[in-house]
Structure 1
């Protein structure tokens, strides 16, 4: 799954989820937006916040709610739980399970 922050309609940055059925990898992809724009859009969307230039902290509940409604694979919930469990073992999940640390990458074509 990819959380993208890219320039959308009317050249305004927007957050969107893509590849919601691909739960083997999760990251934040930034298009041609500034860190400030990305931070603002993530927070306005309720999806999370930037931790620094390399990582973001995504809200697990908001991310699941946004992705689950668009999922098409029948075992999506089980695979989501596996992804969260793996993140916990790697130290990427906060102690309370509320936020997930992900890498920031450049969006394709950015």
Structure 2
């Protein structure tokens, strides 16, 4: 699953959740946006916040709410729970389970 920040139709950066079926990896991908634009778009969407150029914290409930309605696999919920359990085991999940630490990747050159 990818949360990406891209320039929207009105040239205002927007956050969107894509590849919702791929629960084997999760990261934040930045298009051609500044760190400030990315931070603003992520917070405006309610999906999380940018900590720095390499790390973001995503809101687990908001991420699930954005992804689950578009998921088509019958075992999606089970795989989601496994992804969250794996993140907890790696130390990427906050103690209360509300925030998930993810890596930031630049998609600008892609």
Q: TM-score, normalised by structure 1?
A: 0.96
Three-state SS of the structure 1 residue aligned to 2:40 is helix
Q: Which residue of 1 aligns with 2:31?
A: 31
Q: Which residue of 1 aligns with 2:8?
A: 8
Q: TM-score, normalised by structure 2?
A: 0.96
Counterpart-to-counterpart distance in 1, 2:17 and 2:73: 16
Three-state SS of the structure 2 residue aligned to 1:81 is helix
Counterpart-to-counterpart distance in 1, 2:6 and 2:109: 10
Do the aligned partners of residues 108 and 25 (structure 1) sit closer, same or farther apart at CA in structure 2, a change above 3 Å counting? farther
Three-state SS of the structure 2 residue aligned to 1:10 is coil
Counterpart-to-counterpart distance in 1, 2:108 and 2:35: 17
Q: Does 2:108 match 1:80? A: no
Q: Structure 2: where are the runs of 5+ without partners?
A: none
Preserved contact between residue 20 and residue 67 of structure 2 (Cα < 8 Å) = yes
Q: Structure 1: where are the runs of 5+ without partners?
A: none
Paired residues, number: 110
Q: Which residue of 1 aligns with 2:68?
A: 68
The structural deviation recorded for 1:6 is 0.6
Q: Which residue of 2 aligns with 1:89?
A: 89
